[in-house]
Amino acid sequence: MGARPVEDLHLVSLTKAFGDMVAVDDLTLTIPAGSFFALLGASGCGKTTTLRMIAGLEDPTSGSIRIGEQDVTGLKAYRRPVNTVFQSYALFPHLDIFENVAFGLRRRRVKNIKPKVNAMLELVQLGPMARRKPSQLSGGQQQRVAVARALINEPDVLLLDEPLGALDLKLRRQMQIELKRIQTEVGTTFVHVTHDQEEAMTMADTVAVMNAGRIEQLGHPAEIYELPRSAFVANFLGQSNLIEGQRQDDGDMVTVVAHGVAFRLLRSRNAAAGGSVIVGVRPEKITVVDAADAARVPDGHNQVAGTVTDVSYSGVSTQYLIRARWGQELIVFEQNVIVGDRCDVGDEVVMHWAPEHSFGLDGSQDVYAGVEPAVLELEAAQ
């Protein structure tokens, strides 16, 4: 499509306050041209507000928005090279699919609309639906019309506000692949807002984790997942075991003592500046062995003894909850590669993992930040 050079999108100290409520707090970030960028965060963290400011539907309280060298902060929505796929699609009910898709082109008095609209409808696989009304389409089809209607204008940036939120799980997966295909095909910058961490990780080149109006961490999905820099990210993006301790001595590795147990981690993977450190490890990085086989734990591994309190088998993997001596429950995922070799509730076990799989976080944070409220309630009940 567009032979026009695509430009980076820059947000500079972007802030939006509604009265006393700061919805978006001093946001600075650059979204590279042609990337699939996911803005991930819990409901109410300011994702929609950020998108609306980029689209020009909301005026920032302060800060600026640039596309390439052009400052668009003061431009009206209809003058920005940006289009939006709305959370609720917002298709025009009085116009058929063809006219919905043609709307932007007609407003700009583009010539020879018909082949363009038809090509776009082909791209989203809705060719035969051109003369239907939006109300005659399924949710997934309406979603694709919304994408086509925005994309046909060849915007520099396409904003998608939880575009798959209204679809059921199976259709969501299908549309994730579909959207990714469309993005690769047209090469437009996509800014995709979602509260689904799996969706963000599978679709995006870059994920920004947003919390309370700020970006907590930004990077490639694998990078953020493997090395979260805050408790919120560690808990919100996948699951983590977080253990609070004190830094002891620094050799080539940082050693943190928690509840009388020493944990070692790489200096480069420690984000804590002070003496108070939260040691974290992802559940799938942990190996569980029977207490009797503790001697088999490789030298130098971090290890924690505990009692199995819960086993849930899910086919691909088994999830264990194991209570450490100090009472904290750790979560472990084990791939079911060996048939019949599983622990049972009540078994005494040893968990161990390589030091390079640990990460260190600043100890002043709440270890429960970003945990789903439902999980917290469950733990409180136990």
Partner 1 sequence: MAPVLPATASAAPAARRRGRAAYVLLLPGMTWLAVFFAIPFVTLFMTSLQQPVPGKSGKYAFGLEFGNYVTSMTEYWPQFVRSFAYAGIATLLALLIAYPLAYFIAFKGGRWRSLLLVLVIAPSFASFLLRTYAWRTILADDGPITSTLNALHLLPDGRVLNTGIAVVAGLTYNFLPFMILPLYAALEKIDHRLIEAAGDLYASASTAFRKVTWPLSMPGVVAGTLLTFIPAAGDYINAELLGSTKDRMIGNAIQTNFIEFRDYPTASALSFVLMAAILILVFTYIRRAGTEELV
18 binds, among ligand ADP, partner 1, Mg ion, none (CB under 5 to 8 A by kind): ligand ADP
169-186 and 139-151 helices cross at what angle (nearest 10)? 20
Angstrom distances, CA of residue 358 to CA of 13, 52, 78, 224, 228: 33, 38, 49, 14, 10
83 scored as a contact of partner 1 (CB under 8 A): yes
| CA atoms within a 13 Å half-sphere pointing along the CA-CB vector of 179 | 34
4 scored as a contact of partner 1 (CB under 8 A): no
18 scored as a contact of ligand ADP (CB under 6 A): yes
Q: How many residues bind ligand ADP (CB under 6 A)?
A: 11
Residues 6+ apart with CB under 8 A from 166: 88, 139, 143
Angstrom distances, CA of residue 170 to CA of 135, 147, 167: 22, 19, 8
Q: How many residues bind Mg ion (CB under 5 A)?
A: 1
Q: Are 66 and 106 in contact (CB under 8 A)?
A: no
48 scored as a contact of ligand ADP (CB under 6 A): yes
Which residues, numbered 99-128, are part of the site for ligand ADP (CB under 6 A)? none
188 scored as a contact of ligand ADP (CB under 6 A): no
Among 21, 316, 337, 381, binds ligand ADP (CB under 6 A): 21
CA distance 262 to 220: 31
CA distance 15 to 62: 5
User: Would residue 74 be called left, alpha or beta, if left means φ above 0 and alpha means ψ between -120 and 50 degrees?
Assistant: alpha
Q: Are 134 and 91 in contact (CB under 8 A)?
A: yes
Among 35, 48, 83, 211, binds Mg ion (CB under 5 A): 48
314 binds, among partner 1, ligand ADP, Mg ion, none (CB under 5 to 8 A by kind): none
Of 19 and 93, the one with the shorter C-beta distance to ligand ADP is 19
Query: Two tokens at 182?
Result: 């469309």
Closest approach of ligand ADP to the CB of residue 371, in Å: 18
Interface contacts to ligand ADP, rule CB under 6 A? 18, 21, 23, 41, 43-49
Interface contacts to Mg ion, rule CB under 5 A? 48
Interface contacts to partner 1, rule CB under 8 A? 55-57, 76-78, 82-84, 86, 88, 90-94, 103-104, 107-108, 133, 135, 149-150, 153
